[in-house]
Structure 1
Amino acid sequence: MPVLVVIPARLGATRLPRKPLADIGGRPMVVRTAEKARAADVGRVVVATDSSEIRAAVEAAGFEAVMTREDHPSGSDRVFEALNLVDPDGAFDTLLNLQGDFPTISPETVKRALAPLSGKGCDIATLGAEIHDEAEKTNPNVVKVVGSPIGERRLRALYFTRATAPWGEGPLFHHVGVYAFHRAALGRFVSLPPSVLETREKLEQLRALEAGMRIDVGIVDEVPVGVDGPAELELARRAFA
């Protein structure tokens, strides 16, 4: 089925103001992310934004952008609005939500995010990578995915947490926040109210698990730099230097 890659990008970030437009190697961060999505060559790439300034920068770089509402509570809600704006007739059944603050993600990792969606019964696909840095195992800013193996380098997600989990010997996995959805699954997800564990952990994907939706996880070797603040922005700039 044809794939629509949607990159949500809002201007009002708190930790790093005007984050999508931050310069990385002479181009805005959101454009760098769109370049990686285009290089993955998995489908049509659209940036969904609430800012005419972001839209202008994206279009000046030769990418497609669509204006969405300012009041979306999450990137998934923005992706769903963008989907219905650019594809009201339902030609796209598969959506890839690629956050606009992943300028260093490799095209191959973008592709890998789609693979688990082919599994029978899978509603949502995402990625994980084994944690090798001991400090990250106890860092609440590093989200861990807990899952049961269902194949080579594939898990069925049971939980996501900021705590160190699971207990005991064995690998821990860093969740990489790229999501692929079947269209109907995304529609169901955004229609659900915030869940108890989602609110407690501040992790949106727990809403899906609490509602009985299935999330499968592909294991990759790369953890792309997610730019949340100045320190990560500097790392991304070094990567492009």
Structure 2
Amino acid sequence: MRKIAVIPARLQATRFPYKLLQDLGGKSVIEQTYLATVQTHLFDEVWVATDSEEIAERITSIGGKVFISKLAHNCGSNRIAEAVAELPADIIINVQGDEPFIQKDSLEKLLKVFEEDSLKQIDLASLMTPLSDRGEIENPNNVKVVTDKNQFALYFSRSVIPFNREGRSSFPYMKHIGVYAFRKKALMDFYSLPASALEEMEKLEQLRYLENGKRIKMVLSPVENIGIDTPEDLEKARILWNTFYSY
């Protein structure tokens, strides 16, 4: 089974433009994310897919592989699909460019899903982690997921799902962590389809997969990857980096 990781890296992020070029431990955020992914030793190849010559130069300067997008993309799956269209691969993992603290354990769990899926009934795998704080549950920036009894995704939403009509306190709410592993065919099928109605409403690309009958296996991860979405997140990341990587 040939496994590759692709890091979609858009320069003009909505909430924090140029965040991927910000310094973190003497290198840019995107460089640290690329190196962390390579150092898991889980993949046959690691690529960065970007619309930016600046990002491309940073990655090639450290010996990395880069695909320059020829088309404009409004989601990471489309950018990755363009990049891997001609690459031999069975499983593709999407690693977010703003997650330099990516966890090897989480990626291994995603890959294991496909290693155990001998009948090839799973199209995608993704991560979820428990949510307990009410404010975090109600925060629309935290995407919630509900699953069936076999841990296949039923729906994703920025709203609180399920609605707690009787005020029960024990229901295990789950936050979706946006790291995906795809069978290549599922990814290319997605790329050929128009944006779906639910996807447009929620601004969640994973709903396009569900609306078109793809099966998404959710994997419980006790550790949430640390992303950098705001300048405040960057400052926290720098403190964390200096705490654990300054030696």
TM-score scaled by length of structure 2: 0.89
Q: Which residue of 2 aligns with 1:39?
A: 39
For 1:107, the equivalent position in structure 2 comes to: 104
Q: Could you say what secondary structure the match of 2:179 adopts? A: strand
Which residue of structure 2 lines up, in the alignment, with residue 214 of structure 1?
215
Moved more, 166-175 or 91-100: 166-175
Distance 2:140 2:190 in 1: 25
Residues 153-232 of structure 1 aligned to structure 2 (within 5 Å): 155-168=151-164, 169-232=170-233
Unaligned runs of 5+ in 2: 165-169, 243-247
Taking the TM superposition and a 5 Å limit, the aligned residue runs for 1:9-24 are: 9-24=9-24
- Deviation (angstroms), 1:116: 2.7
Q: Quote the Cα distance in structure 1 between the aligned partners of 2:161 and 2:112.
A: 25
| Structure 1 residues 123-175: Cα deviation after superposition (integer angstroms, max 9, x where no partner) | 1110000113332111111001110232xxxx110000111112344101110
Instruction: Write the distance in 1 (CA, Å) between the matches of 2:34 and 2:109.
Output: 16
Residue type matched to 1:195 in 2?
S
Cα 1:60/1:178, change in 2 over 3 Å: same
Post-superposition Cα deviations, 1:5-41, rounded to whole Å, max 9, x if no partner, equal 0001021223212121111111111111112211221
Map of 2:78 onto structure 1: 77
Q: Secondary structure at the match of 2:98?
A: coil
Q: Which residue of 1 aligns with 2:167?
A: none
Segments of 5+ residues of structure 1 without an aligned counterpart are: none
**Aligned partners of 2:54, 2:211: CA distance in 1, in Å?**
37
Quote the Cα distance in structure 2 between the aligned partners of 1:93 and 1:34.
21
Q: Any idea what SS the aligned residue of 1:45 has?
A: strand
- 1:98 equivalenced with 2:99 (yes/no): no
**Matched residue, 2:245:** none
Q: Which moved more, 1:35-44 or 1:173-182?
A: 35-44
- In the aligned structure 1, how far is the partner of 2:162 from the partner of 2:36? 33
Identity of aligned residues (%): 40
- Once superposed, what is the RMSD of the aligned Cα atoms? 1.5
Distance 2:103 2:214 in 1: 28
- Size of the aligned set, in residue pairs, is 233
SS across alignment from 1:40: coil
SS across alignment from 1:114: helix
Distance in 1, Cα, partners of 2:67 & 2:93: 16
1:123 counterpart = 2:105:
no
In terms of mean alpha carbon deviation, does 127-136 or 114-123 score higher?
Answer: 114-123
Q: What is the identity, as a one-letter code, of the residue corresponding to 2:52?
A: S
Contact 1:68/1:81 (<8 A) preserved: yes
Bigger Rg over Cα: 2
CA separation in 2, counterparts of 1:97 and 1:175?
14
Q: CA deviation at 1:70?
A: 4.9
Shift of 1:213: 0.8
